[in-house]
Structure 1
């Protein structure tokens, strides 16, 4: 039986789906709204299969995550998986056997419903417990910050 830690946060954004999609689907614009990203560089491709590296911080240390886009449905869904993770320039401790992040959009009256979903398969029972006890709270807070940034900004620009 595969155990998956799922963290979901949802918010309404007062902007059309196309405007929200333009922002969330452009990797270079991630630092404008995505709390995990200070900078994102596209290494290859566009849309499905795109390879990119997200630079940010985790636990106060510089972090890099190599990502591969695994779902790309314009105006509806963007998802990526973590390929490699580095912390402070070295391979990060392996807590998750796999990590997937999803951005789901849906037209709502007067705007867009945005759902952020993190799916992590722990790399063992103890690591799963540690992820739930400590990491899940940080991931949820970053997701809430990301949604607040999307909700509070004018996306049409």
Structure 2
């Protein structure tokens, strides 16, 4: 993918296994993803969907699991019809969750068309990694 990257990072005072559970548990993901139901089997090559409601309108985002290394790396594609863009590969983002060291979480989203779009995405992902931190430390 191309374009500008959005990056959000946080240090979490919890074991890696606990953070990983927050990132992959359907119930915890619902809290992270603004109430969306997340469905996948976490197998590389499998689909992942997010179904929910945004501003009174139902939606279903979709993607594919690209990498799944428990406790270390989760990489997936993401497309939302809410963008108004056509459902074609160049309109997908890649989301990469990396866990390192003393439970440092880094989330990167590629393929933002402009610096402003990347900043908007970064703000949203900073909110999400903060929710991961809160859930893992609870």
Could you tell me the TM-score, scaled by structure 2's length? 0.79
Counterpart residue number, 1:125:
none
Which is richer in helix? 2
Name the SS for the 1:137 alignment partner.
helix
Which is richer in strand? 1
Cα deviations across residues 102-156 of structure 1 (Å, max 9, x unaligned)?
Answer: 1100131xxx100000011x6xxxxx3xx433x2232111111112112223x27
Structure 2 portions without partners, runs of 5+? none
Counterpart residue number, 1:46:
42
Counterpart residue number, 2:85:
93
Q: Does 1:103 align with 2:97?
A: yes
Counterpart residue number, 2:11:
12
Relative to 1, partners in 2 of residues 1:143 and 1:85: Cα closer, same or farther, differing over 3 Å?
closer
Shift in Å, 1:75? 0.5
Could you tell me the TM-score, scaled by structure 1's length? 0.71
Cα deviations across residues 29-73 of structure 1 (Å, max 9, x unaligned)?
Answer: 312234xx421342x533322312113567886543111110101
Q: In structure 1, which of residues 104, 128, 136 is the aligned counterpart of residue 118 of structure 2?
A: 136
Name the SS for the 1:38 alignment partner.
coil
Relative to 1, partners in 2 of residues 1:20 and 1:26: Cα closer, same or farther, differing over 3 Å?
same
Q: Does 1:76 align with 2:72?
A: yes
Alpha-carbon distance between aligned partners in 2 of 1:32 and 1:67, rounded to the nearest angstrom? 19
